[in-house]
Amino acid sequence: MGWRWQRTLINTVNPNTVQPDALDYARAYPFPVVKSQLTELRAEASYQVSKRVRAGFSFLFEPYRLSDFAYDTVSPYDPGSFAPETDARRYLFMGSGPTSYTGKLLAVYIRYAF
């Protein structure tokens, strides 16, 4: 069983003194926290059928959760909204990047020893 958790903090500063009447984009604002969590659970069982043959199965359960401000609040463009002469297949649209998922894998096997 494995468990990985990552927390990313990004700090920002403006090395110059910001005047009180400066525009908001002259100020440094901290970015939100980015959290990435991967949990992995593996189970395996097998049975010795004969001296040379073993049968068994393996199961993997892997939930992944991502909380990232860069992807959470972005709405993608609709590829259908582009002009016909624009090939929108070559663009990577925001919102099509990493996301949370739950992976499950079941494998059944037979091992034979020579």
Question: Which burial class, exposed, middle or buried, applies to 16 when counting CB atoms under 10 A from its CB (0-12, 13-18, 19+)?
Answer: exposed
CA distances from 67 to 8, 13, 64, 99 (A): 10, 24, 10, 8
Query: What pLDDT is attached to residue 66?
Result: 83
pLDDT, tens only, 27-85: 777 777 788 888 889 999 999 999 999 999 999 999 988 887 766 655 556 666 777 77
Whole-number pLDDT of residue 89: 64
On whether the pTM is more than 0.85, the answer is: no
